[in-house]
Structure 1
């Protein structure tokens, strides 16, 4: 163990003054291996904190294909080919958290859809210097078996704390039993106040939920739907949801009955927001990702490299064959 002051001096020479490890070793009479260990120790103690700023316009080939095909800016999170789903989710969450820290500025109104992915993003946020920020919940979370507070409250509180923001929760059901109930509740002054804040959002963050695959969306694991209801969604060719609004692979959603009872903004509502960040990973979500992209709800996409390739292979089968031959 080395003294914090000495670790700071070594780290300052190496990281700030760009001295080589050998030069730092000569300065203090250490070996280069000792300097290397000291730099690692400085990182583990928090003396050195390294941050990466994602590029505003990613230049890589995958990103260009997403721009050409879907008109969105794709931010590709690099992962190892063998990385399991949890590590891929963590990679896209870290990337998205970095982007949000860059994009949220004084006076921003950030809309957040609750879920597994956005909770992971919140856990990776750094403290921001932005002021006068507002965080508003985009969709209700209450269901037949839960109030939804355990899902949405920690996420929203973490987001609000990170951005020094005023928080506007949206204490409504994720899905209403009756469309008429939703219509009446939307007329209440307390709800209209939240809806007005939601309408002023300039940056939204959400994911794509899936009711098939190894990692199911919380919409499908917290009792909002019976097995029969899920079968009905499948019969309607539903491939997932964004902000608790169900979508098909072609991006259509307006004629899906359950959406008239949903509390979240539709893709058309989202399209009025200047910047809409969709964060997603997992090949089981490929068709849902396509639906989200084709619905017009997304301006920016954070996605891991393997899932990005799966999406492009799905829409460009000829390209997939070429890549297989090249491999």
Structure 2
């Protein structure tokens, strides 16, 4: 074979061994031309020998898959000031999502979920064990996750999902599946009810080897991702709206002056939780154990969850907080 032919074969071998899908390579190339070289979409289309609409789709793909992350530095933005106040008052790193008073609760949730998903990506590393609590807010976040390749990472369910009406497996597993798919991580479900009927049943189940394996993963978490449940939120928390609690349970929570929950473990305004009777039947993580996790990311949408959020912050459950601007204002101005 001639030297020229050999060089051509070598180049072909390099191309064939490239594991990156052609569509991803085109998206990266288009993004570099558009964001780094200031080329117009028409110019990119000519260079890539494709249409302008295809270039637009490639740029959208680059944003959705995390190849491109957009950051806006606005000197007039109120969010940084709110973030500083939250950090100073509550000792957590805050990410405030700008919204106006005209935005509906459902739109606020969607905007918070989008920013939370984009904030999570850079924080997720390989060899991580990430605990995920199901719920309305985290479900919304799971729909907007951007892809990031990690290795030897695990997504573990933080609390059981079954109740008297359903196993809850479909709902919870879909949330976990989206997290696993986004980060290329193994998914470990927790196939137990959200609440046992009797505390003794929980004690017996916690001794089973299959359950102890999940509990061991939870104890070794490097990151936990959760929302705050509340009975009075504009968009009802799934644990309160999904048939998990009956009227007697709700009456018990009122008597115990419960303001909210994290992963179906309840607490009061001052963060206390150990003597709340319903927690003895809950399959959520021990909050003392959760406090030891290195990164604990709490996502909150809606001012009606503020009392629950205050309780969670009083309990020291979060290291990072992602919330909408209206809730942030209420949190700092009424503290």
Query: Is 1:279 paired with 2:296?
Result: no
Tell me the SS of whatever aligns to 2:62.
coil
- What is the aligned counterpart of 1:161 among 181, 193, 196? 181
Which residue number corresponds to residue 49 of structure 1?
A: 62
Stretches of structure 1 lacking an aligned partner (at least 5 in a row): 29-37, 316-327
Query: Is 1:88 paired with 2:108?
Result: yes
For residues 193-214 of structure 1, what are the alpha-carbon distances to aligned partners after superposition, in whole Å with 9 as ceiling and x for unaligned?
A: 1111111110100000111132
Distance 1:42 1:85, change over 3 A: farther
Q: How does 1:233-252 map to 2 (within 5 A)?
A: 233-252=253-272
Q: Structure 2 CA distance, aligned partners of 1:88 and 1:181?
A: 40
Q: Structure 2 CA distance, aligned partners of 1:290 and 1:119?
A: 22
Q: Structure 1 CA distance, aligned partners of 2:329 and 2:52?
A: 36
Task: State whether residues 301 and 323 of structure 2, in contact with CA within 8 Å, keep that contact through their aligned partners in structure 1.
Answer: yes
For residues 25-75 of structure 1, what are the alpha-carbon distances to aligned partners after superposition, in whole Å with 9 as ceiling and x for unaligned?
A: 8x89xxxxxxxxx978743565663443679xx981111111111100011
Which residue number corresponds to residue 99 of structure 1?
A: 119
Report the alpha carbon displacement of residue 267 of structure 1 after superposing the two structures with TM.
Answer: 2.3
TM-score (norm 1): 0.83
Which residue number corresponds to residue 199 of structure 1?
A: 219
Tell me the SS of whatever aligns to 2:131.
strand
Aligned residues: 296
Task: State whether residues 94 and 320 of structure 2, in contact with CA within 8 Å, keep that contact through their aligned partners in structure 1.
Answer: yes
Q: Structure 2 CA distance, aligned partners of 1:89 and 1:47?
A: 22
Distance 1:243 1:14, change over 3 A: closer
Tell me the SS of whatever aligns to 1:172.
coil
Runs (4+) of structure 1 exceeding 2 A deviation are: 7-16, 38-55
Report the alpha carbon displacement of residue 93 of structure 1 after superposing the two structures with TM.
Answer: 1.1
Task: State whether residues 106 and 235 of structure 2, in contact with CA within 8 Å, keep that contact through their aligned partners in structure 1.
Answer: no
Tell me the SS of whatever aligns to 1:74.
strand
Task: State whether residues 132 and 176 of structure 2, in contact with CA within 8 Å, keep that contact through their aligned partners in structure 1.
Answer: yes
Stretches of structure 2 lacking an aligned partner (at least 5 in a row): 1-22, 45-50, 73-77
Query: Is 1:119 paired with 2:151?
Result: no
For residues 276-316 of structure 1, what are the alpha-carbon distances to aligned partners after superposition, in whole Å with 9 as ceiling and x for unaligned?
A: 0000011110100000011011000000111110111221x
Tell me the SS of whatever aligns to 1:263.
coil
Q: How does 1:1-327 map to 2 (within 5 A)?
A: 14-18=34-38, 42-44=55-57, 46=59, 49-50=62-63, 51-52=68-69, 60-315=80-335
TM-score (norm 2): 0.81
Q: Structure 1 CA distance, aligned partners of 2:116 and 2:137?
A: 10
Tell me the SS of whatever aligns to 1:302.
strand
Q: Structure 1 CA distance, aligned partners of 2:259 and 2:53?
A: 45
Q: What's the C-alpha RMSD, in Å, of the aligned pairs?
A: 2.7
Report the alpha carbon displacement of residue 10 of structure 1 after superposing the two structures with TM.
Answer: 8.8
Distance 1:13 1:244, change over 3 A: closer
Q: Structure 2 CA distance, aligned partners of 1:275 and 1:247?
A: 20
For residues 248-267 of structure 1, what are the alpha-carbon distances to aligned partners after superposition, in whole Å with 9 as ceiling and x for unaligned?
A: 11111111110111111132
Tell me the SS of whatever aligns to 2:85.
helix
Distance 1:111 1:18, change over 3 A: same
Distance 1:59 1:9, change over 3 A: closer
Moved more, 235-244 or 45-54: 45-54
Report the alpha carbon displacement of residue 13 of structure 1 after superposing the two structures with TM.
Answer: 5.1
Q: Structure 2 CA distance, aligned partners of 1:59 and 1:84?
A: 19
Q: Structure 2 CA distance, aligned partners of 1:164 and 1:8?
A: 20
Q: Structure 1 CA distance, aligned partners of 2:302 and 2:60?
A: 35
